[in-house]
Amino acid sequence: MSDFKFITSTGETIPIVITARRGVRNITLRPHAGDMRRIDISRPWIASNAAAMKFVEQKRRWLERFFASAPIKKHIQSGDRFEFLGMMVTVIYDGAIRGNKFTENWNGTYTLTVGGDAKMIENRVRMFVKSELLNKIKEIIRTTPRDLWPRRICLRDTSSRWGSRSTTGTMSFSWRLGLAPYDVMRYVVMHELAHVRHMDHSPEFWATVRELYGFGVERARRWLNTNGARLHEIL
């Protein structure tokens, strides 16, 4: 347990971990959201912990904004529901099965039955989302001109970027796009494919995005800008 705390204006207590380092000239801090909400501070060996805490107070307004905008994780348990590419999915645990079973219900909802260790329910759901999302992304890419196809596709858990493309031809996507509506996920894929031709956000780039996506691209873009933070609230 950390001996240092940052108490927000809403009353939340966030641990502060201070580490003294040789060769470091300045005090730096890094806040973390997610399951382990905390603030990591690196200070020079000769600086004091009191100086580090003073630096935290100097950054209070920025830290308040960071933690206010960073959602607190909501964990998935048997009986809970989550949205997968626009489909409402109920999670059911069944210790008698080993894998996952995804079924459509009579009322248009879906059930994801997961087996294995009861402690691994959330991990099983996460694996399902990643696997199915990767398949959907590949399906979408195969509908586009072949010269846009990446050499490799990978999924990451990024907090600031929904997609990226490396110089080696690898396209990376946040697996949390699986928690967004299908059209929003498709928009991000087309956005990254458009960067193959235009490595900027010029008018020509956006014209290519619209050409690849078709009608409704602005609506999908607005949804992501408005609701993207919610995709980090679970799992």
The per-residue pLDDT for 73 is: 77
Q: Does 215 have pLDDT greater than 60?
A: yes
* CB of 88 closer than 8 Å to CB of 33: no
**What's the rounded Cα separation, in Å, for the pair 69 and 104?**
35
Q: With pLDDT > 70 as the criterion, what percentage of the chain qualifies?
A: 98
SS3 per residue for the chain: CCCEEEECCCCCEEEEEEEEECCCCCCEEEEECCCCCEEEEEEECCCCHHHHHHHHHHCHHHHHHHHHHCCCCECCCCCCEEEEECEEEEEEECCCCCCEEEEECCCCCEEEEECCCHHHHHHHHHHHHHHHHHHHHHHHHCCCCHHHCCCEEEEECCCCCCEEECCCCEEEEEHHHHHCEHHHHHHHHHHHHHCCCCCCCCHHHHHHHHHHHCCCHHHHHHHHHHHHHHHHCEC
If you search the block for the tokens 């997961």, which residue do you land on? Answer: 114
- Which of the pair, 219 or 1, is modelled with greater confidence? 219
User: Shortest CA distance to 132 belongs to which of 85, 91, 75?
Assistant: 85
Per the prediction, the chain carries an average pLDDT of 92
Q: Which residue segments constitute the domains of the chain, with CATH numbers given?
A: 4-69 (no CATH), 81-232 (3.30.2010.10)
Condensed to tens digits (0 to 9), the pLDDT of residues 149-176 reads 999 999 998 877 899 998 889 999 999 9
Q: From its phi and psi, is residue 173 left (phi > 0), alpha (psi between -120 and 50) or beta?
A: beta
Q: Quick one: pLDDT band at residue 185, thresholds 50, 70, 90?
A: very high
The per-residue pLDDT for 79 is: 95
- 81-84 vs 87-93, strand pairing mode: antiparallel
Q: Does 78 have pLDDT greater than 60?
A: yes
- Which of the pair, 66 or 142, is modelled with greater confidence? 142
The per-residue pLDDT for 2 is: 60
* Interior angle at CA 216, CA 86 and CA 169, nearest 5: 80
The per-residue pLDDT for 233 is: 82
Q: Does 1 have pLDDT greater than 90?
A: no
Sign of CA dihedral 166, 170, 175, 180: positive
Condensed to tens digits (0 to 9), the pLDDT of residues 10-42 reads 888 999 999 999 888 899 999 987 667 899 999
- Which of the pair, 183 or 229, is modelled with greater confidence? 183
Total-model pTM: 0.75
